[in-house]
Structure 1
Amino acid sequence: MTEEFNESMITDIKEGDKVTGEVQQVNDKHVVVHVSGAKYNGIIPISQLSTHHVEDANEVVKVGDEIGAYVTKIEIDEDNETGSYILSKRQLEEEKSYEFLQEKLDNNETIEAKVTEVVKGGLVVDVGQRGFIPASLISTDYIEDFSDYEGKVLELKVEELDPANNRVILSRKAVEAEQNEKKKEELLKSIKEGDVLEGKVARLANFGAFVDIGGVDGLVHVSELSHEHVSTPEEVVTIGDIVKVKVRSVEADSERISLSIKDTLPSPFETIQSKFNEGDVVEGKVMRLASFGAFVEIGPGLQGLVHISEISHKHIGSPNEVLEPGQTVDVKILSINTAEERISLSIKAAAPAEETNEASPETTEQYTLSTDDDSNNPTLGDVFADKFKNLNL
């Protein structure tokens, strides 16, 4: 009766069933499990103990452990009335992992996972099974060497799940992007015009440099890179440079921030008195022309105005009649206003007066005196007397 009772307690187990049992033996290549309510013991090959590569089964389980597994095969020797269930603990772990990951994907939640391997093209992580982070999804920044990530625990988002092909794609970039967006919102609310900040040159364009000031890029226009004239940003900064910038304006709605490096640097006018004085004649370079005059640079960051009336001794209608940008000219410093950072210059005052064909005042005076003397003032008769005397009138 006892034998009949025991047989009645035996569960009819089929391939694909999920079973639980107690570890009875741990061998080099497999583990023996007493399956609850089953006729035979279960065998778990070492390859099916975990979703990760296992060298020693003792690293994963020990005798007495209660574990779950899927039945993948049933082997029966009817002649000897013996048999065994081939089990997979790995399959059960993968199923639980997919359920967990699917929930995180559906709710747009993050997970933490440890990088177990750095491979060509990305990172392998442990998410209850093998997960992969492609190189393009590792960071919002360009990463050349991934080796520093090995062994690190990363915050990730599930990018793609494909159980049929054992495909789990994860993204650290998505997490960083969300963090950057929050930092950007906070920064746009906190910064104001006049703030001096530290930033990193992120990229260059022909019209200026974009500087990352903590999750958001601001533009330093080429005219705001230096007190000196700058043709291209590369003359002053390179990508990766750490620079001080002053906030010129903030447009939170459009996320536009105007910055200046020039405003954080000492003004050339602070030391102009040690280099130039009123009355000095110096060499300068014509930077640009306007209808009212020409702007001439006499030193780095020091431009003065030559009014149109101070360009030439001759009357001119427009500065471009005698000047062109890039031309080198001598100028006399007429005045320096350090408070307003203005310099008044003259080309005319630096050059000698041009020669003319007009009589000098002395010559004019002598001629006037001679015409006042009647003896020196001949008449027509005096001039033509010899001609008239031969005529028969």
Structure 2
Amino acid sequence: MTEEFNESMINDIKEGDKVTGEVRSIEDKQVIVDVNGGKFSGIIPISQLSTHHIDSPNDAVKVGDEIGAYVTKIELDEENETGTYILSKRQLETEKSYEFLQQQLDNNETIEAKVTEVVKGGLVVDVGQRGFVPASLISTDFIEDFSDFEGQVLKLKVEELDSENNRVILSRKAVEEVANAQKKDELLQSLNEGDVIEGKVARLTNFGAFIDIGGVDGLVHVSELAHEHVKSPEDVVTIGDAVKVKVKSVDKDSERISLSIKDTLPSPFESIQGQFNEGDVIEGKVARLANFGAFVEIKPGVQGLVHISEISHQHIGTPGEVLTPGDDVSVKILGIDIENERISLSIKATLPNEDVAESDDATTKAYLSSNDEEEDNPTLGDVFGDKLKDFKF
């Protein structure tokens, strides 16, 4: 009789079967279920009601709910010829969750999940089961405090699934990377030479500063940081500074952007208007030497040219025979062209010499009227004009 009872009672529903039923009653630590097509009632222990921790069965179900579950065990009471199905709603939820997450992983899809807990190593999220976002996968930016994420609904990508070890790893960083790449492409397409835009100093090197202009970094070369000579970028800008920059060039294929801070600043030459006049004798410092003369700084960012013929009353072969960068010198202003930012200076005009005539006006005019933007490398023709034909070596 016992064998016949066992066989008749369990032939319809077996361990491992998926069943459905209606919640009949809720107790402190379990739920009673009327199993559809079953000969016994079902019991779901509180630990098997949800993939998440709950304090009461009422947190997961209510009386009258239609639910699904797996049969994990069948307990038979042979003496009374009855039995009970032990069920797991959690197991079914976990299975469905893995199926869904695997589909998202295969299709590289983005999902949304709520942060249920902030822990030391990252974020715990609800994806139908317990999912984890490690600290290294939370953002493309460094984030020191994760507490603000608690309760937020995040967009995530599935990074890793391991059902055997109950491991679900997700990434918010991967979603940000896709968005940043799209934003970067849109920005590159919209940038044009001459645009003036806002940015933030991202990092510094010995040759310049990289500026974040909205997901893309552009380089401000050290020579483009200020009108005056800059030895080190740290002397002018600091990481995190908000700056205004002008786009000098854009290479969209290589994603290289050249920027200038200097071009957004007022020219130092504008400030000297009315301060210096032709004929003034002022003090300056030799900034650099060229084979055709010496550049003298008369104000931070403002340099004038002392042509080699205006350095000394005596003939010299090179400016270096008389001058050294850093020398303090007196100079006379021979001419000023504010529009083209050119100043012609003379050292010898400040020195007494009864046998020497006035300074060479033709040389001054040639320099002031030159349109060569490369001041460090003007040709002798640019400087002397027709006077070259009479110059004797």
Does the pair score TM above 0.5?
Answer: yes
Q: Is the 8 A contact 2:132 2:170 kept in 1?
A: yes
Give the AA of the match of 1:22: E
CA deviation map 1:297-320 (0-9, x unaligned): 111211111211222233222222
Change (3 A) 1:263 1:77: same
> How far apart, in 2, do the equivalents of 1:291 and 1:299 lie?
23
> How far apart, in 1, do the equivalents of 2:69 and 2:9 lie?
20
Q: Does 1:293 align with 2:293?
A: yes
SS of residue in 2 equivalent to 1:339: coil
CA RMSD of aligned residues (A): 2.0
Give the AA of the match of 1:237: V
Aligned to 2:13: 13
Runs of 4+ in 1 over 6 A off after TM superposition: 7-10
SS of residue in 2 equivalent to 1:254: coil
Give the AA of the match of 2:350: A
> How far apart, in 2, do the equivalents of 1:106 and 1:66 lie?
31
Q: Is the 8 A contact 1:11 1:37 kept in 2?
A: no
Instruction: Please report how far the alpha carbon of residue 325 of structure 1 lies from its aligned counterpart in structure 2 after TM superposition.
Output: 2.4
SS of residue in 2 equivalent to 1:164: coil
Q: Is the 8 A contact 1:23 1:66 kept in 2?
A: yes
> How far apart, in 1, do the equivalents of 2:336 and 2:133 lie?
63
Q: Is the 8 A contact 2:31 2:46 kept in 1?
A: yes
Give the AA of the match of 1:133: V
> How far apart, in 1, do the equivalents of 2:191 and 2:278 lie?
42
Equivalent positions of 1:83-232 (< 5 A) are 83-232=83-232
SS of residue in 2 equivalent to 1:278: coil
Give the AA of the match of 2:156: L
Aligned to 1:255: 255
TM-score, normalised to structure 1's length? 0.84
Unaligned runs of 5+ in 1: 1-6, 356-393
CA deviation map 1:235-261 (0-9, x unaligned): 111111111111111111111111111
Instruction: Please report how far the alpha carbon of residue 9 of structure 1 lies from its aligned counterpart in structure 2 after TM superposition.
Output: 9.4
Q: Is the 8 A contact 1:10 1:38 kept in 2?
A: no
Instruction: Please report how far the alpha carbon of residue 121 of structure 1 lies from its aligned counterpart in structure 2 after TM superposition.
Output: 1.9
> How far apart, in 2, do the equivalents of 1:352 and 1:73 lie?
115
Instruction: Please report how far the alpha carbon of residue 353 of structure 1 lies from its aligned counterpart in structure 2 after TM superposition.
Output: 4.2
TM-score, normalised to structure 2's length? 0.84
Aligned to 1:364: none
> How far apart, in 1, do the equivalents of 2:79 and 2:351 lie?
124
Which has the higher Rg, Structure 1 or Structure 2? Answer: 1
Unaligned runs of 5+ in 2: 1-6, 356-393
Instruction: Please report how far the alpha carbon of residue 8 of structure 1 lies from its aligned counterpart in structure 2 after TM superposition.
Output: 7.4
> How far apart, in 1, do the equivalents of 2:306 and 2:78 lie?
113
Equivalent positions of 1:308-327 (< 5 A) are 308-327=308-327
Q: Is the 8 A contact 2:110 2:157 kept in 1?
A: yes
SS of residue in 2 equivalent to 1:180: helix
SS of residue in 2 equivalent to 1:94: helix
SS of residue in 2 equivalent to 1:182: helix
> How far apart, in 1, do the equivalents of 2:101 and 2:177 lie?
20
Q: Is the 8 A contact 2:244 2:264 kept in 1?
A: yes
Instruction: Please report how far the alpha carbon of residue 274 of structure 1 lies from its aligned counterpart in structure 2 after TM superposition.
Output: 3.4
SS of residue in 1 equivalent to 2:273: helix
Change (3 A) 1:82 1:285: farther
Q: Is the 8 A contact 1:9 1:37 kept in 2?
A: no
Q: Is the 8 A contact 2:9 2:39 kept in 1?
A: no
Q: Is the 8 A contact 1:30 1:46 kept in 2?
A: yes
Give the AA of the match of 2:271: T
Aligned to 1:27: 27
> How far apart, in 1, do the equivalents of 2:80 and 2:26 lie?
25
CA deviation map 1:137-186 (0-9, x unaligned): 11111112111111111111111111111111111111111111111111
The number of equivalent residue pairs is 350
